Structures are given as structure tokens and as C-alpha cells.
Structure 1
Amino acid sequence: MKKQILSLGTLACLTIAGCDNSLDNVKNQSSYNDDTYFTTPATISEAVTATYGLMLYKGLYSRDFYYLMDLTGNEAEADAPLLGDVLQLHDYSYAANHAQINDLWSTAYKVTFRANLVIDKAAKVTPASDAEKAKLTQYVSEAYFLKAYAEFLLVTLWGRVPIRKDYSENDEFYLPRASTEENWKQIESDLVNAIAGLPANYASANDLGRVTKGAAIALLGKSYLYQKKYAEAATQFDLLTKAPYTYDLVQNLDELFTKSPVKNAETVFDIPHKAWGGWAEGSPYYMFGSQEGSGSGKNTLTGRAMEYGWNDWRNVFISDAAVKAFTYKDETGKTYVDPRARNTFYGDKASGGDVTFCDNCTGGAKPYPFAENGNGFRWRKYEPYEYKEKGELPQSDINSQVIRYADVLLMLAEAQINVGKIAEALPLINKVRARSGAFAYTTLGTKDEAMKKIMLERQLELSGEQVRWFDLIRWGIAKQTLNAEKKEKYPTSSQSFFQDKHVLFPIPLTEKNTNPLVAKDISNDWN
């Protein structure tokens, strides 16, 4: 026999004739939901801004992303102050409950959620003018790009992941993992949509930092390259070398990496870092919390300079492997020290690193000699030490470069090498080298020799830019390269560092515990 439990209120209504329950479902006329709020171009713009805001959220560019990529890619090595979950990235001892890995996964899906909301709600807005129609098209295209970027991180770092194609799927709590092919197809589709509606440039300085058509083309080319669709990749990258695009290399790498740059010709897609009104609205340590909910106000800064800073928190130093890469053989077989070493790290004369700091400090300060003192060489890229002796707070305003033109040229060269156009790749590589004064190659040799050169070139030019991990994984040489580097650094260690499973990050424990469709599709509690 079924038992029914009735509330006192229900019992009362059953015993009183004509009981009126009309007040049970009264709507609050002053409240909003997603259908009633996102109904104008202005509110759609707010949703786009909120999607950009996630680039500074946990797992991404306010703090965690540089640790995740630099430590796993062995460009940064742990110094004594580095503790906790972040330290596990250094020796690949992380597991499915790793905080920063879980955060990156979660934030990437938050980006897809908000981007899908923009796309869905903008389609229901009736523009009042051609200008509003153009703005709505731009907003939707920006959302498509941000969505594709999040999807790019998910498929490259975790492989087969669930795809949230559109906003209507928000009612679907549990989605199964899709194939990598399906994920890449979704990324390509989103980027094609982004390209169609994005401008090549923005007229207003207030729009600095918004994605452009060139950024979407670059990410589409990068997506093709990672899938080994080399001809398609080359076609996209080549577009950026011609009108209407005016990308070029800045004169000196310091213009990008020692102080926050103004608009420049080399940045294709970056994350701007700036304090928009001081710290009155929040803590300068907001990077350690949930950035949107910790009172951060208008600040969009990053903690990288302070945390990596050898004259500050000293959490990491540049790896021995990264330093040694700048010394190699030239075409005559002689030992050559690449001049980009000076822009990348502080070291000694033999290593090519910068031997002084505070060269441009104000107040008449003279340059200080960099003293290694047995503590290893230290990062110069993304540090402010050319302009001040010490950092003050974790509040760096040096923009995070995600894709820049030098990267585009090297990816184009790689694509050309792989389609057999080695001669066309040569001037692209030499253009990047010439900017820093490195010698020009007269030949790239065979395809295998050319690939070795492009691999080295990317390691040197993009050092410390969270690129190397992705390169090693997609080239299929991560295990052999990283374990050899670790063995040279720790010759007496019996530890197995990089294992086959580390090619992909572990599926986060939070996803496994909440999504049964994913949980049953995980092997060995990893991926």
C-alpha cells in the first residue's frame, strides 16, 4: 500500500471549501532570468565581456595556466618555495583530483556555456538599426572564437571530451565523450563562423583586446596544423602575411615581454592585463581565489611576474634544458649561442643570458649585476626587472601572448615543410631569426633536418610562452624528450617521470563523480 504524506497546508486546504492557491506561483516582477535579461545589444555585450572575463579565471591566465604548461613542458623547474598541487606538475605526480587541472577543465566549459548563451540570445534580439545589427554580428563572432579556443584546450589536453554544441544542451546534465574527430570538427565550424563576422581591426581604442578576424584565422590554421592537415593550415597562415592584414615582427622582443605593450603589429591574440582603477575594489591577491567572486573589481592582472620572479617569490627558475637549447651548432659546426638567450633569461656571459638588470630603472639607478650564486639562471621574459628592482605585489600588467606573428610564421614554415615546400619555409624561419640577430640558415636540408630546425626554432623563440608542452605532445616526442631532460638534471633518480598516460591530462575527478556517462568511459582512473 502506498503512503502519502500531506503537509499541514494541504490538509487545511482539503478541509476549507474554496481554498485559493493563486499566490503559490506569483512571479517576482523585478527579477530577471536569461530569457528576460539578454534582450538588447547592450546586454548581449555584457555577456560577451563576461565570457572574456573567464580568460582570467581559475586555470587560465590570471595564474594557473603558466604553471600548468611551463612545468609539465619542463621550461620551468620548481624552486624550493614551490609547494602543494603546483609542485606535482614538476615531476608528473599529479592525479585526477589535481586542483589546477580540475580548474582548467571547469573554466573551459564555463567559456563554452557563456559563449553558447551569447550565440543563442543574440539570435532572438531584433536590432533597431544597421549599426546594432553589425554589433550583434560582431558579438556572436567573438563568442564563436572564445568557444573554439576553450574547445581547443579541451581536445588538445584531454582528447575525447563532451561537446556542448549549443545553449539548448544546458538541460542535458550528462553528455558522453565525443571522439577527437568530432571535437575538431566542432572547433573548425565555430572558427569558420567567427571568421565570417569578425573585423580585421577595431577603430576604437576601447576595443583593444577584442579578438579579430586574424586571430580566428590563426587559431583555425593552428587547429589544422595540430591535426596534421598541413595544406589547409598553410592556406590559413598565408592569409595573415598579406593585405588586408598588417602583422609584422616588433623590433625587439622586450617590446612584448618586459612591460605591458601598447597596440603593436605582432600580437595576433593576447590576454590584456591592466589595473582599471587601482586596488580599492579588491585584493591584489585575487588571483588565488575565484577571480569573479573575490572582489577583484576591474583589475585584470596576472601573478606570473611575482611568482616566477627571482627577486621576489622565487617559485620557479628557467630549466637547465631550456637554457642549454640556446647553445647549438651553426652551419659550419661551430658552437653558437643564440642572441635570444639575452631576452629570455638572466644568466652569465657563456650562456648568453642577460648579466645585468634594472637597466632602465628610474631615479638614476645604475644596472645591477645578476648574481647566479649557485641558484640557477632565472626568467627574464615576462619579468619587469629591466624597469624596477623588485616587484611590489602579484600585479603584473605584461600581457599574456597567446598567438603572435612570429608563432604564425613558424607554424606556416612547419606546414610548408610537411607538404614538401622546404624552400618556401626557409625565408619564414630566417625572418624570425633576423629580428634578434641570429644567423640566417642557407639551407634547411632534408625534411627531417628541416623539422629538427623548426623544432629548435620554436623552442627558442617561444620559450616560456606556454607552447612547448603542446608542441612536444603533437610531435610525438614528449616522453623521450622530457625524460632525457629530467635524467640529465637528476642522474641518480630512479623515478619514472613522464609516462605514456601523461600524453593527456587525467579526466578530472569532479567530472567523473558527477557525469556517469564519462565515468564509465575512463580507463585506469586516468583518461
Structure 2
Amino acid sequence: MKAKFKLFLYLTLLWGVAGCSQILDEVPVSQVGSQYYNSLAGFEGGVNAVYTSMRSYYGAEVSTNLSVFGTDTYTNGSDGSYKYMNQYTASFGSNVSILTNLWNSLYSGINTANILIDLANTDGVTGLSEAAKNQRIAELKFLRAHAYFLLTQNWGNIAISVNGITNPTKDFTKATVAEVYAVILADLIAALPYLPTTVGNADYGRATQGACEHMLAKVYLTKATSEAAESTDFENAATYSSHVINNYSYALQSDYALVHDQSNQQNSEIIWAVQYSNDVLTNGSGNMTHLFFLMEYDVQAGMIRDIANGRPWKRYRPTDYLLNVIFNPADRSKDSRFKKSFKDTWLSNSPGTFTSGLFDNTKTSVTFASGDTAIYIPGIEWTVEQRAAKKFQVLVPSLYQANLYPTLSKYLDPLRPEIGTSAGSRDVFVARLADTYLILAEANIKLGRSQQAADAINMIRRRAAWSGMESEMEITASDATMEFLMQERERELSGELSRWYDLKRWGVLVSQVQAYNPDGAAGIQSYHNLRPIPQTQIDRTEGTSTNFPQNPGY
């Protein structure tokens, strides 16, 4: 299902006054095309629009700024306007535009879902069968829960509503984290029995029971260490993750590299994805993640920018902790994930002889024919003699810079039509089975079931092994500790929009950034476990900061 965008404009007007500054002058939803979404086609388009609202996070720069920046595994590259989100400076405050836009978009999607649920529940959609009504309401509740989950993880106490708002209002107050989780869980539990177990190609991307149970597992796991924690949360996380693993047809890909192969996106490991396409009419701004992790290869000797190697925006540079501890060089002979997650070789696409601008100081000139290796990153230090013996430039750790570093390759998008195209067509994998195994492992560690945790971890480690090294990759029950799991999640999921949320859930965000992020260490404080509430939301709420106070520290 490639969700259409055009109806989103009709349906997302009025969560509070969180939209544009002229929101009070907007024509209410009730006066704009209401007869259209009373029709079956209009209602279906409205549901698709709520799916499309997920693109305000997944595939946008804000998602990587909120999950990759400000962690122990990535730090500032040379470019970008949001370095303060990694450095935790005073600029990271209530007027950050991309946070305001995300807040508005998520609440707009929530309100659209509310309006459509209200409409369906009052039999206001002509031609909608009972079965279709139940499924679409379930999908909308799944999406509403997902939006609230993103909001509360980032902002804590937030406003909640499960009723559609069709006229502007300024009457909002914060709910507690416990109240937010109650709404999230009620939505997911209510949705589960009405969602399909599988969908056909035409409906790929819609919520399924497996996606709902995966999300229930992650919500319970996160809630378990929040102020809303209950004693049954870890057990519930283990139960729902086990259901996903055992009750559906999901399967790990045989090779880690296949997971992120763009020609293999709809693979057996993917539980739920936010979709993009090559259709310029429906792709919006596209998935932009392919831009952010790339080093500046395109000004190096023998290289020019091309589609295959990507358009390098140089936002996120791996930390030494990621490269040397999590992806320990001593383990790379048995674990394939470093090799299959990071690009290490660039082949010359601009042949000739070059005598200036060389980063490899063992050479005064280099000469390349088309297709020759121009740049190689071994991932470990080489001696001067070893580098000098090569005809290409060798980028070793001692030469890494803010614009030259190992490049995460998971998001490369060689199917873009032109070199300068920023709108990528890759789907964003929100839930995949390897993460489900890791959720199960974490819950079991917390429950004291070390062997079950090791069994779950070994499923993904055996898959990650180089051929013949499967037994070498296995761990024992005594190895299945939280310290091990904290690193294993990043080995499997590096760059996949989870690290900041993981560190927060584990209660180690501040200590890990202080220890391993050289750009963020000085600025981070405990209050950075929450984000600043957008000032526009506070200003447009009745009673302003009295009724809708800013988060502490901002």
C-alpha cells in the first residue's frame, strides 16, 4: 500500500492549535469536503493519509537526529545545521523547527485518526462493511498508538485525546506518562484481534497482528523502566515478542547483507515498514536517510559524486566506541556485520593522475584507471610501509576526520534517478525480526532467564557469522548480561533509529555519552532524557506554561 498524500491536507487541520500560526483562520474539517470522506473512497484515502503521517518521522532528518545524534555511537560529521542536538548546547531548546514540525505532524496524524475512528464508529461511511470497518479502526488505533509512543518517549508527559477535534481549541493539558501508556496499550490490545495476520502485495505496509504484537512487546519493554512501570511489564514483553517469533511466518534472512539489499525490501524479516516509492506524485520528500551517513568521498583523488556512492551530507560520524569496542576488530573475522554494515571500498570513477589533496600521507601522487580501487578503509591501523605499498589511498583510523570516516551503507539508494536527488525510495524498516529477538532477550535478562536470553541472541549471532564460524559466534547463559546486550543491539541495529531510545530505556544515556561521545560529553545533563516542548504549543495553550509547562531544564 503506497499511502497517498493528497488527503492529508484535508484531514490534519486541528489538533489544538499546533499547526501554523494562522490556525484560527483555517476552515474547520467539518466544512472542507466532509462528504468526500463519508464516501468509501474518501475514508480509505483518509486512512492512507494517517499512514503517510508516519513519514514526518521515518525517513526525515529529525528521526536520525533524535535517535543517532547525542548517543555513544555517532557524533558530529563535518556538515549540518543540527550539531547542537548532538552537543546538547543551549541551542537545543524549545524553538528547534524540526522538533516543532514533528510534534505538529504527529498530533495532526493522531487527530486525523480520531476523526476517522469517530466517523466509522457512527456508521458514517457509505459502503463500508462491518469487517472492513473493524480492520480500518484497528489500523488507525495501531497508528495512533505508534504516534503517542514516539511522543512520550521523547517528551514524557504529553496531551492525549482519542476523540476527533474539528474546530480550533486551546484547551489542553498534559497527561502523565502512565496515562499515555494506558492509551497506547488500550489501542494496541483493542486493535490486535481485528488486524490481519498477513497482507497481500497490494496492501503491503498496512498494520498486521505481527506488527501489533511486536509493538506491544517494545512498549511493555520501554514502560518497564519508565515512571509508569508495573511488575508484569517484562513478562508481557517476553510474551508478545515470543508470539511474533513463533506464531507468524517471519524468518531471519539467511545473510545479514540481504536485510538491507534494496532489491529485497519486502523480505521475510520485515514486520512493518513505512513505505516510499519512485513515484514523485506520492513520494513527498522521500526517504532522505541515504544522505546522512556518507563521508566526503566525492572530492578525493579518482572520485567524483555518482548515484551509486551517494550524495554525502556528512551528518553522522561513527565514534571510536562504535568502531573499536562494539565492532571490535578482533571479532570481525567471525562476525560479518561490520563488513556488511559499512562501506570500505570506493572504485575510481574519475581516472587520472592526482598529486594534490591526498589524505594518505604515504603518497605524493596516485594514478587510477576507471574501476581501480581509489579508497580503501581497512578498519584497523596499518603501518606506513603497508599503506605505501598500495596504489590507492588507505584511510586508517589515525586519519579519520569529521568528513572522512567509515560510511554506514545500509541506506545507500542507487535507485535514485539523478545524482542530486535527495528524495530516496527505500522503505524505512520500523520493525524487523532481529529486533524482536533482542526484545525477547532483554526481557528475559531482566527476568533472570539467562539461558532463554542467550538462545534468542544466538539466533541473530549465528545468522551474522561468516560461513563456518557459527559456533564461534554463540554465547552462553553467563554471557547474556545487560552489558553484552547493550552492545549486541548496536551490532545488529546500528543506525536503525533505536540507539538514543535504548540508552534512555537502560538509564545510561548521560553516562554513555559522557564516556564515548567527544562532542556531546560536556553538554549532556540528566534533563536531556526528555526533549524541549515546542514553544508554539505552550504559547497556544490556554494558560500557556501554567497549563502546559515546559519540560525541566529548558
Q: Structure 2 length as normaliser, TM-score?
A: 0.75
Report the AA paired with residue 116 of structure 1: N
Question: Deviation of residue 337 (structure 1)?
Answer: 7.2
Where does residue 19 of structure 1 map in the other structure?
none
- Two-structure CA RMSD over aligned residues (Å): 3.1
Question: Deviation of residue 257 (structure 1)?
Answer: 2.3
Question: Where in structure 2 are the equivalents of 1:458-473 lying within 5 Å?
Answer: 458-473=489-504
**For 1:89-121, what per-residue CA distance to the aligned partner results, in whole angstroms no more than 9, with x for missing partners?**
120121111112222211111121111112111
**For 1:179-209, what per-residue CA distance to the aligned partner results, in whole angstroms no more than 9, with x for missing partners?**
1000000000011122121101113x12111
Of 517-526 and 313-322, the range deviating more from structure 2: 517-526
Which one of the candidate residues 256, 262, 266 is aligned to 1:263? 266
Where does residue 249 of structure 1 map in the other structure?
252
8 Å contact kept, 2:72–2:512: no
Which whole-Å CA distance do the structure 2 matches of 1:307 and 1:383 have between them? 9
Higher relative contact order (CA 8 A, sep 6+): 2
Where does residue 430 of structure 1 map in the other structure?
458
The answer on 1:222 being equivalent to 2:186 is: no
8 Å contact kept, 2:265–2:427: no
Which whole-Å CA distance do the structure 2 matches of 1:75 and 1:110 have between them? 32
8 Å contact kept, 2:334–2:473: no
Report the AA paired with residue 38 of structure 1: Y
Question: Deviation of residue 231 (structure 1)?
Answer: 0.5
Of 434-443 and 212-221, the range deviating more from structure 2: 434-443
Which one of the candidate residues 481, 492, 498 is aligned to 1:450? 481
Which one of the candidate residues 448, 468, 490 is aligned to 1:420? 448
Where does residue 13 of structure 1 map in the other structure?
none
Which whole-Å CA distance do the structure 2 matches of 1:387 and 1:40 have between them? 37
Gaps of 5+ in 1: 1-30, 282-296, 347-353
Question: Deviation of residue 307 (structure 1)?
Answer: 3.5
Which whole-Å CA distance do the structure 2 matches of 1:193 and 1:299 have between them? 31
Which whole-Å CA distance do the structure 2 matches of 1:463 and 1:262 have between them? 18
Question: Deviation of residue 496 (structure 1)?
Answer: 2.2
Where does residue 43 of structure 2 map in the other structure?
44
Which whole-Å CA distance do the structure 2 matches of 1:271 and 1:119 have between them? 21
Which whole-Å CA distance do the structure 1 matches of 2:271 and 2:551 have between them? 40
8 Å contact kept, 2:270–2:431: yes
Question: Deviation of residue 515 (structure 1)?
Answer: 1.3
8 Å contact kept, 2:252–2:268: yes
Report the AA paired with residue 475 of structure 1: W
Of 143-152 and 430-439, the range deviating more from structure 2: 430-439
8 Å contact kept, 2:348–2:372: yes
Three-state SS of the structure 2 residue aligned to 1:402 is strand
Where does residue 235 of structure 1 map in the other structure?
239
Which one of the candidate residues 277, 293, 301 is aligned to 1:308? 293
Distance 1:391 1:308, change over 3 A: farther
Which one of the candidate residues 191, 212, 218 is aligned to 2:208? 212
Question: Deviation of residue 395 (structure 1)?
Answer: 2.8
8 Å contact kept, 1:356–1:369: yes
8 Å contact kept, 1:76–1:319: yes
The answer on 1:326 being equivalent to 2:357 is: no
Distance 1:325 1:260, change over 3 A: farther
Question: Deviation of residue 55 (structure 1)?
Answer: 1.7
**For 1:307-353, what per-residue CA distance to the aligned partner results, in whole angstroms no more than 9, with x for missing partners?**
333243332233332222334499xxx9977421112223xxxxxxx
8 Å contact kept, 1:327–1:337: no
Which whole-Å CA distance do the structure 2 matches of 1:169 and 1:385 have between them? 40
Report the AA paired with residue 246 of structure 1: S
Where does residue 104 of structure 2 map in the other structure?
106
Where does residue 398 of structure 1 map in the other structure?
426
Distance 1:231 1:358, change over 3 A: farther
Aligned residues: 453
Which whole-Å CA distance do the structure 1 matches of 2:65 and 2:400 have between them? 23
Distance 1:268 1:366, change over 3 A: farther
Which whole-Å CA distance do the structure 2 matches of 1:196 and 1:125 have between them? 20
Report the AA paired with residue 320 of structure 2: D
Where does residue 145 of structure 2 map in the other structure?
148
8 Å contact kept, 1:326–1:338: no
Three-state SS of the structure 1 residue aligned to 2:473 is coil
Where does residue 116 of structure 1 map in the other structure?
114
Distance 1:418 1:504, change over 3 A: same
Where does residue 533 of structure 2 map in the other structure?
507
Question: Where in structure 2 are the equivalents of 1:298-377 lying within 5 Å?
Answer: 298-299=283-284, 301-310=286-295, 311=297, 312-316=311-315, 317-328=317-328, 338-346=335-343, 354-355=344-345, 369-370=375-376, 371-372=394-395, 374-375=400-401, 376-377=404-405
8 Å contact kept, 2:43–2:125: no
Where does residue 22 of structure 2 map in the other structure?
none
Q: Structure 1 length as normaliser, TM-score?
A: 0.78
Which whole-Å CA distance do the structure 2 matches of 1:522 and 1:47 have between them? 33
Distance 1:175 1:87, change over 3 A: same
8 Å contact kept, 2:114–2:164: yes
**For 1:35-71, what per-residue CA distance to the aligned partner results, in whole angstroms no more than 9, with x for missing partners?**
53322332211111111111223x4423321222211
Which whole-Å CA distance do the structure 1 matches of 2:478 and 2:522 have between them? 35
Question: Deviation of residue 167 (structure 1)?
Answer: 1.3
Report the AA paired with residue 115 of structure 2: L
Report the AA paired with residue 237 of structure 2: A
Three-state SS of the structure 1 residue aligned to 2:429 is strand
8 Å contact kept, 1:274–1:300: no
Gaps of 5+ in 2: 1-29, 225-232, 298-310, 350-369, 377-393
8 Å contact kept, 2:347–2:374: yes
Three-state SS of the structure 2 residue aligned to 1:56 is helix
Report the AA paired with residue 425 of structure 2: D
Q: Which has the larger radius of gyration?
A: 1
Which whole-Å CA distance do the structure 1 matches of 2:203 and 2:126 have between them? 22
Distance 1:479 1:63, change over 3 A: closer
Question: Where in structure 2 are the equivalents of 1:189-200 lying within 5 Å?
Answer: 189-200=186-197
Distance 1:153 1:127, change over 3 A: closer
Report the AA paired with residue 535 of structure 2: L
**For 1:351-387, what per-residue CA distance to the aligned partner results, in whole angstroms no more than 9, with x for missing partners?**
xxx345699xxxx956664353643423233333889
Identity of aligned residues (%): 24
8 Å contact kept, 1:96–1:509: yes
**For 1:486-513, what per-residue CA distance to the aligned partner results, in whole angstroms no more than 9, with x for missing partners?**
2xx46xx9x7221111010011111111
Question: Where in structure 2 are the equivalents of 1:170-209 lying within 5 Å?
Answer: 172-203=169-200, 205-209=201-205
8 Å contact kept, 1:218–1:236: yes
Distance 1:166 1:406, change over 3 A: same
Where does residue 9 of structure 1 map in the other structure?
none
Distance 1:454 1:329, change over 3 A: farther
